[in-house]
Amino acid sequence: MVMMNMQTNKPTLHPLRFCAVILLLAVLLSAGCAAPELSAEARSVTVFAMDTVMDLTVYGGDDDLLTEAENMIHFLETEFSVTDPESDLSRLNAAGDFSVGPDTKSLLASALALSDRTDGAFDCTIYPVLRAWGFTSGEYRVPAEDELAALLPLVNWRKVTVSGERVTVGEGQMLDFGAIAKGYTGDRLISLFREAGAASALVNLGGNVQLLGKKPDGSLWNVAVADPFGNGYAGVLKTADCAVITSGGYERYFEEDGKIYRHILDPKTGIPADNGLSSVTVVGERGIVCDALSTALYVMGAERAEAFWRGSDDFEIILLTEDGQIILSEGLEDSFAPSGEWRDAPITVIRDD
Ligand code: AMP
Ligand code: MG
């Protein structure tokens, strides 16, 4: 989806388009909820956290709801940040053995289950390798082969053990929640809004869109899927009450000696995944699941991603390939409309048979 956290020191791939895409998404989403009776009840706030711009809009609930939501975001950021030495996660990474708070415990339980479910295409123990590439600090470099070979054995979620609040990682292991923290946060925000009695809400965490209910006028929301190659969007999804989460190599990358290195790594090799996909959008009920799976399916490539979708029943997918094709799972056949440069792209619908 739309990215806000791109950190590249090579502006050659049109970094300004990111702002345009965000603006476009905002316009599209707000245009989608512009029925006159809505304006009186709509409350919105923009928050910068987790290295991204977050826009929250809620219809209903009391006056303090958005303040509560904002506080929740900042609290979760201080729990999950891998660069803040005071965060729950950093303290676990530094000590290797640490009693974590309830949110870290809950997120980690899902992260380990999703690492298992994807057979490590998503692996929450990727941090040592990610750090070697500089993707967490912005000090990008291409690690030497022997350096990667030495770090790879540390990437293995099976070595992490949890006993009550106590989390123990294997010798030298460190965790990274970059691929799921926003999905978890989105789930918490949607629950907060639902429990406060709001009927409709839209949470856009830097392009990770999560929706509560339909628009207040009873129609579906319009969610833009970013064009991984350009300024605009590749299409619009009409949907409600779900998470729409995209992973793409275009969100963060660097270039060295004419080669582009993207931020989603294949945990089996330690090098950026390069399997012919330019973005993966996962649509489903749970943000944390969609967030982990969008990253994992990007690593898998189209063929394995399709097989994985056939073996699952809790999400739908939109795959945009590097060579300009659209692959849709059948549940989205009637709700996704390609647009812009993708309007005439060949579409393959994958079915569960
Ligand atoms: P997303 O944008 O949700 O796909 O998350 C990408 C982020 O997840 C990266 O910036 C890294 O912090 C982290 N990451 C990269 N590759 C992986 C992987 N294979 N498994 C888990 N986390 C990853
Ligand atoms: Mg993700």
Confidence of residue 353 (pLDDT cuts 50, 70, 90): confident
Contacts of 129 (CB under 8 A, 6+ apart): 143, 148, 151, 152, 154, 155, 265, 267, 270
Tell me: the pLDDT tens digits for 76-110? 999 999 989 999 999 999 999 999 999 999 999 99
Tokens of 343: 């309007």
pLDDT 10s digits, 183-195: 999 999 999 999 9
Neighbours of 111 (CB within 10 A): 26
Cα–Cα distances in Å, from 159 out to 116, 152, 169, 178, 270? 12, 13, 6, 19, 17
Q: Are 318 and 283 in contact (CB under 8 A)?
A: yes
- Half-sphere exposure of residue 318: CA atoms within 13 angstroms, side-chain side: 31
Q: Name the more confident of 17 and 230.
A: 230
Whether 9 has a pLDDT exceeding 60, the answer reads no
| Closest alpha carbon to 155 in 123, 191, 113 | 123
Q: How many angstroms separate the alpha carbon of residue 209 from the centre of ligand 2? A: 12
Pick the more confident residue, 30 or 345: 345
* Residues whose CB falls within 8 Å of the CB of residue 102, separated by 6 or more in sequence, listed in order: none
* pLDDT tens, residue by residue, 292-328: 999 999 999 999 999 999 999 999 999 999 999 999 9
Spell out a b/e string for 280-296, using b for 16 or more CB atoms within 10 Å of the CB, else e. bbbbbebbbbbbbbbbb
Q: What is the pLDDT of residue 313?
A: 96
Q: Give residue 295's pLDDT.
A: 98
The mean pLDDT of 227-253, rounded to a whole number, is 93
Q: Which residues on adjacent β-strands are paired with residue 272?
A: 265
pLDDT at 345 over 90: yes
Ligand 1 atom closest to Cα of residue 298: 4
Q: How far is CA 121 from CA 116, 155, 270, 273, in A?
A: 9, 11, 11, 10
Closest CA to 185 of 208, 201, 167: 208
pTM for the full predicted model? 0.90
User: According to the model, what pLDDT value does residue 179 have?
Assistant: 97
Please tell me the distance from the alpha carbon of residue 259 to that of residue 278, in angstroms, as a whole number: 16
- Helix/strand/coil for 238: strand
Q: Which residue has the tokens 């056949």?
A: 333
Which stretches of 206-304 are assigned E, i.e. beta strand?
A: 208-212, 221-226, 233-239, 243-248, 253-256, 259-262, 265-266, 271-272, 277-284
Residue 283 has pLDDT above 70, yes or no: yes
Which tens digits make up the pLDDT trace of 146-203? 999 999 999 999 999 999 999 999 999 999 999 999 999 999 999 999 999 999 999 9
Whole-number pLDDT of residue 249:
82
Ligand 1 contacts (CB < 6 A) are: 122-124, 126, 130, 135, 176, 178-179, 247, 251-252, 263-265, 267, 291, 294-295, 299
Which pLDDT score is estimated for 37? Answer: 41
CA of 264 to the centre of ligand 1 (A): 5
Strand partners, 211: 202
pLDDT band at 128 (very low <50, low <70, confident <90, very high): very high
Q: Is the pLDDT of residue 12 over 70?
A: no
Residues facing residue 116 across a β-bridge: none
Ligand nearest to the CA of 114: 1
Which of the listed residues 126, 133, 148, 290 should we mutate to test ligand 1's pocket, taking the one with most ligand atoms within 8 A of CB?
Answer: 126
Cα 317 to Cα 330: distance, rounded to the nearest angstrom: 9
Name the amino acid, one letter, at 60.
G
pLDDT of amino acid 94: 97
138: left (phi over 0), alpha (psi -120 to 50) or beta: left
- Sheet containing 97-99: which strands, arranged edge to edge? 97-99, 166-168, 161-163
Question: Which H or E element spans position 307?
Answer: helix 302-310
Pocket perturbation via mutation, ligand 1, pick of 6, 125, 130, 266 by most ligand atoms within 8 A of CB: 130
Q: Around Cβ 163, how many Cβ atoms within 10 Å?
A: 8
